[in-house]
Each structure stands twice: as structure tokens, then as C-alpha cells.
Amino acid sequence: MPKRGYIAEPYPELPENLAELALDLRNCWDHTTHSVWSKIDPELWALTHNPWLVLQTASRTRIEELNAEPKFRTEVSDLLRSQRDSLKRPAWFQHAYPKSPLTCVAFFSMEYALSEALPIYSGGLGNVAGDFLKAGSDLAVPIVGVGLLYQQGYFRQIIEADGSQRVLNPYNDPGQLPVTPVRKADGEWIRLSIQLPGHKVWLRAWEVRVGRVKLYLLDSNDPANEPAYRGVTSELYGGGPELRLEQELVLGIGGWRLLQSLGIKPEVCHLNEGHAAFVVLERARSFIAENDVAFDVALAATRVGNLFTTHTPVAAGFDRFEPNLIGKYLSPYAREQLHIDLSRLLALGREHPDDQDERFSMAYLAVRGCGAINGVSRLHAVVSRRIFQCLFPRWPQPQVPIGHVTNGVHTPSWDSAAADSLWTTACGPERWRGTLETVGSDIRSVADAALWELRATNRLELVGYVRERLATELAARGDDPTIAQSVFDPNTLTLGFARRFTSYKRPNQLLHDRERLVRILTNPDRPVQLVIAGKAHPDDKPGRAMVQEWVQFVQHPEVRRHAVFLSDYDLLLAERLVQGADLWLNTPRRPWEASGTSGMKVLVNGGLNLSELDGWWAEAYSPEVGWALGDGNEHDEDSAWDAAEADALYKILEQQVVPAFYDRDHLGIPTRWVSTMRESMVRLTPQFSANRAIREYTDSYYVAAATAYRERARDHGASAQSLLAWKTGLSQHWANVRFGDLQITTADGTHHFHVQVYLGDLTPEQVRVELYTESPDGRSMPCQMTQGNPLPGSAKAFTYSTDVASSRPASDYTPRVIGCHPGASIPLEDSHVLWFR
């Protein structure tokens, strides 16, 4: 029997007003609600920053006491009113697109880093996805997220006394997470099924509110499932290939079915990496069922509404599955649902469709099932065009159809209280919810003293946090926690370095010459302090060894006051680090950092970057905004180059960074440092924000994709059927297309090109004849040639002509023939090309 005064019930009744506030993850960037949760349980709030957990855990007596206070009731009522009003208010999207064909974008991602209250993320991909939904809410872009609710999420890290990493996998109790079951009007919990080998697997649906945006999560931990299948959503990036395949089937096929069951009909599906590519098939299956058409028609009709964002800088990073595994899971689906044989499905995921031994690539499926593809930085787009060129044989690399939208971060989620106050004073409270046109000029007018005060305040808070957290970690390892009180100085230049520990990120670059690093850190006149954090994947032995190297280094007596390694890098720790660090370090091996976002997060806080010229920094860097490593070239795994870059890193710190920080004017302000701060905040903070990124996606991809999908889907896919007929004609008759003579004359500063083209059984409307060249910087420069009169005595043979300036040799130009069809994306939807011999 329970003791007197105790009750047992599953969940207490909670005040609706507080529950509404607690369940909206807008609270993780709108700090106005934080005082509410701090009043209910200050200790638990400080530890977890999980409003729903605070509300669930608090005594009802305490909540009733607070609700009885008029001041508290007024505060909560005002917050609710403000929140509800903001959700109804038109925002950027409604002003920019008052009559848009776009009503919904479905964003599919394996992970989301929205808040530490919902730990369903691993790293960069989740950070981008979480910040994307938040910015979507700010701008009222009609987005709905789709993901998985993991029972364990990603692992937690403990550092042992010897510096080794220990892995923990705590359980995610849905009752303590800010998620609610998705229910039908009659109260029934929405459960849907997918077929896995031998079993129907039930999936439960959960909803997460992110301001205006809803995120739907699926989990397989339904008691109706067999034990093995209850564990499909057990762990993010855990298990082997078969579990990964099951998770991706749930995400893509299950995710689309959930949207259909909710009556949500997106024009656009945005695949955040290839993990979600099975939605391509399921969307086509829906079109087949609704319109009674063949698979190829359905795919042609729906693919223009799909966008594939690749985050992977190396081909080996994409998920690939053995053909027999795909057959085991998808053979019945292909035959009974798509009405195609397995070989046709496998061909969509292969470079060589007829190679029966080639593994199935999720990235290739995404390319062949989407109407547009983009990388996540300008450099990453170049790298991606190289990776995917194999799918577009005979096409020049600059024309492999991959664009780019550089990632950005949700600035309100990462700014400190002091930064928020400074930006609000300079730019207004609505600064991140518009077009950002005046943000740069507004912040430029802030006085040097105010900018320097921002850094001093943020650094002081970080030092206090480091000491408190380090004391806890030392005590847990059996060390003396009082040591932490002598660590760091709030007036010392503070460097931050935090990321996943793996070889290509070169987290141990700073340790190349340890004695030199020690001298930099312990300089008595101009000291430096360094805070490090990061996890290594449990299966990454070199990564785990690098973690241990750093932990052992910071334990040396001469170093421990100047450098710390904080364990269990998560969103809460990341927030503190990016707010407090004066300088953010990043040393990846170019070009393996597709974008990187950690360095973007320091910008709003006045932090500066010293980074390899890779990812976002390759397009952001100029000498006025920070410091750069590298020569802009690729050097693979060259140990000599690594050593040279380590030396360069030390020199930049010694000769540029440290003097800029410590050289002060008569007021004690480091004018060079503050000048760089100002330029970084003015130029980079708006440009590398999620606000800019989501507007760019909307302007460049979403609206166009919605328009194209509506056209392709109309009349049961009539235009898709026309496109397929055109493609069939090209395939049947392309072999008969040939060039005749080419004549080039040059006069009066102009090259005159005339080339004969024999089209065989094709018509001039089915093709396009171009004169192709590339600019000195590698950009493609095709020029359409004009069709002339038919050649005498030849059917469907014509002379095509064009003129170009003779500033370049005529040999730089080559005629070619490609396919041409209204609305077709070339070469994504047809890669036929014939070059003049």
C-alpha cells in the first residue's frame, strides 16, 4: 500500500494554459516563458530546460499556489495571448506569396535537434533540420515535419578517469517528452501499418508543436508488434544495415502514409538526406492508386514536387543496401503496390541499372525520384556534382544538375540574453522574422564599447558555467571538485572547439605540437584558454582515441587551469559554448565538411571564426571577418600537409589572433578585435541564418516545385505521359542523330559557327542544338544555336548557326545536341547528349 499522502495515477491533470505553453517548442527560442518554469521548479528547469517535464514533475500544490497568485496568472495569460496572436499574424510568406500554389512542404528527416527536451538527434543533420523548422515557424512557410521518435535517441557520453569514453543509452519516456499522441476526432490514437517481411508493423503517431509548424513522429514501440519490430525505432543510427533499412522504410513509406491519413496533401516533399528517399516510391504509389496510371507516369508526375538535399561530401557516406536485402523487404511492395518488378526498382538505386551485384544507393534513388537536388554550401555543390557525375555520363561536371542553398542557423535559438538585448536595441524585436534587409546596417551603428561589453558578459557567464560543470564532472570521477574554481579567467581570450570526433574533422590538429600549444595557453602576459567538447561514434576507434588524447592533455598540471574537456556534448552545452567563446576553431580536412554550422552560431554572439576554408567558411571568409586556414585546395590524407597546417594554425594564433585581442586603446578596448567583430556580425549573421536559408529554399525551389507538380499531376498526369512519350522517342531514335560539317569563320571580332545536324526520325522541336564552352572559373556557358533552312536533298537535316565574340579561340567551343521538352529538367530527367566529334 502507498504511504499516506501519496497517490498513484498515470499522469496528473494539468492546467490547460500551462500545458499549452509547455508543449510548444517555441519556448526553446522564445525566452519570455522561461521565468514561468523557473518559478515552478528552478532546480529541475536549470538542469533540463524541459518545460513539459517541469510541469509533469511539479506538485499540484505548487502549481495551484502559483495559479492563485494574480501576478503569475497575468503573466501566463499575457504569454498565451501573445503566442496565439503571433501564430495568427501574417508573416513573411503571406506577404511574399499572397496567391501561392504552395500550400504545404513535407520535410522528411531522420533526426531533429529542436531542444534537449526532445533528444532525437545526433549532430549536424539534426541541427539543420531543427533550426529549419524553427525558421519556418518564424516566417510562416507552410511546412510540416516528418521523423521518428526514438526510444533511446543518440548516446550519452561519460568520460572515465583514464580519459576514455563510456556510452550510455537512456530511455526516452514519451510521457516526459513534449509530444502528444495524434488522435482522430473520436479520440482514437492514429496507428498505421507498413508491411515488413512476414509481419504487419504498427506505427504510432506523435505530434510536436514548433510554433506554427507541426512535426509528426512515428514509433514502432507498439505492444501489438513482435518484439523485434518494436525495436525498429529503438536507437538513432544504431544496429546494422537491416535496422537502418527498416527505419528508412518507416520514415519514407510510413511518413507519407501518415500525412495521407491526416488529410495533408503536400505539393512538395523535401528529403533532408537520402535516408528519406523511400517517400519517392510511396508518393508515386499513391498517385497510381488515385489515377490508375503506370509507375513510370506516376514517378514522372510526382518527382517534380520532390527536392533532395544532400549533406554528404563523400560517396562512401551514402546508405547502400545489398540487393538481396532490398528484395527481402521490397519485392512484394514493388510487385503488388507499384506494379513493377524488383529489377526496375533496384535500377533506380544503381549507377549501372543492369549490374545485378551492385548495391542499392538511397542517394541514387533520391536523384532519380526528385525534380531538384541541392548541396548545403557552394563548395559542397561542386563536390556533389563530382560525386553524382556518374549518373550523367558525357555531361560536363559544371552541368550536373545540383545547385546549392548554404545552411544557416536559427539565430534566436543560439543568442545569449546579452546578445538578444543588444540586437533588440539596435534592430528591433522582429528582426529575425523578416527579410533582414536592414539588420546589418542597424548593428553597424552599435558603439565599440557596447560590442566589447557583450563579449565580456558572455565570456564571464561561460567561465562560471565551465567551473560549475567541471566541478560536477570531477566529483563524478572521484577527483577534487574544488580544482574547478581555479580554472579559467573571465578576462582571458577564450577559444571554443566542439564537434563530432572523427578523423576527417581533425579534432587533434591543435595537439600536433603540444609544447607549442602549452606555450600559447600559458603565456603569462597574454594567456589563452580553451574549452573542448565532442563525442566519437561508439564504433569509431580512432575517434574515441582522439577524445582520450584531449582529456589526458587537459589533465596535465600546467594545462588544467587553461584548457578543459567537457563531456556529453549536447544542445545545452553547445548553446553555452557558442555564446561564450571569443573565437571558434574548426579544422576539417577539405572538402569533407559539407557545410558546418557550429561556427555560424557564434556570429550572433559576437564570436569570431578561425576555420579551414571548407564548407560555409569557404564562401564566408574575408580578412575583415575572421581568420582562415588552408590554401583552398584539396590535399587528401597528407600527413605533411596536416603538419604544415598545424604550424599555420599556431602562427595565426600567436601572430594575429592573440595580439588583436590584447592590444587595447586608452579605454581598454581592443579596437582591431572589435572591428572584426562588427564586420562579422554585420556581414555574416544575416547571411548564414536559417531565415535566409528557408527564404532561399522557398524562392528557388518550393514555389517552382509546387507549380510544376500541379501541372504534371493535372488530368491524371497527362503532361507526365507526354513527357514519357517524348523520352521514349529520344531513346528509340537518338542513335540516328549525327553531325555533318562544321564551318567556322572569324571576322570583325566575331566567330561565326555553322554546323550541319542530321536528326534522323526526330523533329527539331524534340532537340536543342547548342554551342558549349566553360568560363575561366569553370562555369558552363551553353549558347543556343539557331535552326536554318533544311539541307538540300536530306530529310530532317538542318544547318544551325550562332555568333560569339572572338576574344577566345574558336577551339574553346563545341557544338552539341541535347533533348528539349517544355517543362523537362535537362539533364535530370533526360541525359541524352551528342557532341560534335
Strand 767-772, strand 783-784: pairing = antiparallel
Give pLDDT, residue 366.
Answer: 98
Grid coordinates in use for 486?
581555479
Residue 16 DSSP SS3? helix
Sign of CA dihedral 466, 468, 472, 478: positive
Residue 307, helix vs strand vs coil: strand
Contact assessment for residue 762 and residue 730, using Cβ atoms and an 8 Å cutoff: yes
> What pLDDT is attached to residue 116?
92
Which pLDDT score, from 0 to 100, does residue 13 have?
Answer: 66
Residue 60, pLDDT > 90, answer no
Residues facing residue 783 across a β-bridge: 771
pLDDT at res. 794: 84
- % of the chain surpassing 70 pLDDT: 98
* Cβ count within 10 A of residue 168: 10
- Asked whether residue 806 carries a pLDDT value surpassing 90, the answer given is yes
**Reduced 3-state DSSP string for 712-727:** HHHHHHHHHHHHHHHH
pLDDT band, residue 198 (cuts 50/70/90): confident
Claim: this prediction has a pTM higher than 0.85: yes
Statement: residue 247 has pLDDT above 60: yes
132 touches 273 (CB < 8 A): no
CA separation (Å) from 585 to 542, 604, 663? 21, 16, 21
* SS3 (DSSP) at 223: coil
Residue 187 backbone phi and psi in degrees, to 5:
95, -10
The per-residue DSSP string of 418-453 comes to: HHHHHHHHHH-TTGGGS--TTHHHHHHTS-HHHHHH
Sequential DSSP letters for 131-192: HHHHHHHHHT--EEEEEE--SS-SPEEEE-TTS-EEEE-----GGGSS-EE-B-TTSPBPEE
Among residues 477, 500, 501, 616, the alpha carbon closest in space to that of 549 is found at 501
pLDDT value at position 811? 95
Supply φ then ψ for residue 315, to 5 degrees: -60, -35
SS3 119: coil
Q: How confident is the model at residue 154 (pLDDT cuts 50, 70, 90)?
A: confident
Contact of 772 with 813, CB cutoff 8 Å: yes
In degrees, rounded to 5, the angle at the alpha carbon of residue 696 between the alpha carbons of residues 693 and 702 is 115
pLDDT in tens, 768-805: 999 999 999 889 999 999 999 999 988 899 999 999 99
pLDDT band at 2 (very low <50, low <70, confident <90, very high): very low
Question: What pLDDT band is residue 459 in, cutting at 50, 70 and 90?
Answer: very high
CA geometry: angle 749, 752, 753, nearest 5 deg? 145
Average pLDDT over residues 808-836: 96
Please state, rounded to an integer, the average pLDDT across all residues of the chain: 94
User: What residue has cell string 579559467?
Assistant: 488
What pLDDT is recorded for position 416?
96
**How far is residue 323 from each of residues 73, 125, 242, 758, measured CA to CA in Å?**
61, 27, 12, 42
User: What is the mean predicted confidence (pLDDT) over 627-639?
Assistant: 92
CA distance 195 to 197: 7
Closest by Cα among 242, 262, 252 to 284: 252
| Nearest CA-CA partner of 599 in 589, 590, 614, 273 | 614
pLDDT of 296 above 90: yes
Specify the DSSP class assigned to residue 414.
H
Backbone phi and psi for residue 739, each to the nearest 5 degrees, phi listed first: -95, 150
Measured CA angle at 345 (ends 225, 385), to 5 deg: 110
Strands 199-210 and 213-219 come out as antiparallel
Q: CA 142 to CA 212: how far, in whole Å?
A: 8
The stretches of 688-821 forming alpha helices (DSSP H) are 690-697, 703-733
> What is the grid cell recorded at 262?
491526416
Helix (H, G, I), strand (E, B) or coil at 790: strand
Q: Which of 156, 180, 177 is nearest to 167 (CA)?
A: 156
Label residue 175 by pLDDT band (50, 70, 90): confident
- What is the distance between the alpha carbons of residues 157 and 350, in angstroms, rounded to a whole number? 38
Angle CA(512)–CA(514)–CA(515) in degrees, nearest 5?
135
Q: How many residues does the chain have?
A: 837
Q: What confidence score (pLDDT) does residue 7 get? A: 41
pLDDT at res. 16: 85
- Run of H or E including 331: helix 323-332
Mean pLDDT, residues 437-449 taken together: 94
Which pLDDT score, from 0 to 100, does residue 161 have?
87
Average pLDDT over residues 275-279: 98
Residue from 406, 405, 382 nearest 701 by CA? 405
Q: Say if residue 6's pLDDT is above 80.
A: no
Structure confidence by residue, pLDDT tens digits, 578-632: 999 999 999 999 999 999 999 999 999 999 999 999 999 999 999 999 999 999 9
DSSP state letters, 629-668: ES-SS--TT-HHHHHHHHHHHHHHIIIIIHHHHH---TTS
Mean predicted confidence (pLDDT) in 153-176: 90
Q: How far is CA 148 from the centre of its chain?
A: 16
Confidence of residue 238 (pLDDT cuts 50, 70, 90): confident
CA 411 to CA 28: how far, in whole Å? Answer: 12
C-alpha–C-alpha distance, residues 353 and 346, integer Å: 7
Structure-block grid coordinates of residue 608: 569570431
Written as one letter, the residue type at 652 is: I
What would the grid cell of residue 460 be? 564571464
| Lowest-pLDDT choice from 13-22, 72-81, 105-114, 611-620 | 13-22
pLDDT greater than 80 at residue 492: yes
| Predicted pLDDT of residue 449 | 97
**Confidence band for 30, pLDDT divided at 50, 70 and 90:** confident
> Which one, of 400, 396, 391, lies nearest residue 814 by Cα?
396
Between CA 382 and CA 438 the distance in angstroms is 31
- pLDDT (tens digit per residue) in 651-710: 999 999 999 999 999 999 999 999 999 999 999 999 999 999 999 999 999 999 999 999
Q: Which of 160, 185, 152, 118 is nearest to 572 (CA)?
A: 118
- Please give the grid coordinates belonging to residue 422: 543588444
Angle at which helix 514-522 crosses helix 639-652, to 10 degrees, equals 10
3-state secondary structure of 471: helix
Cα gap 572→569, rounded to integer Å = 8
User: In the chain, how many H helices and how many E strands?
Assistant: 31, 28
292's enclosing H/E stretch is none
Contacts for 680 with CB less than 8 Å, ≥ 6 apart: 603, 606, 608, 609, 625, 626
- Which ranges of 477-596 would DSSP assign to H, the alpha helix? 514-522, 541-554, 571-580
Dist. CA 555–CA 567, nearest whole Å: 14
Please give the pLDDT value at position 1: 41
The residue type found at 713 is A
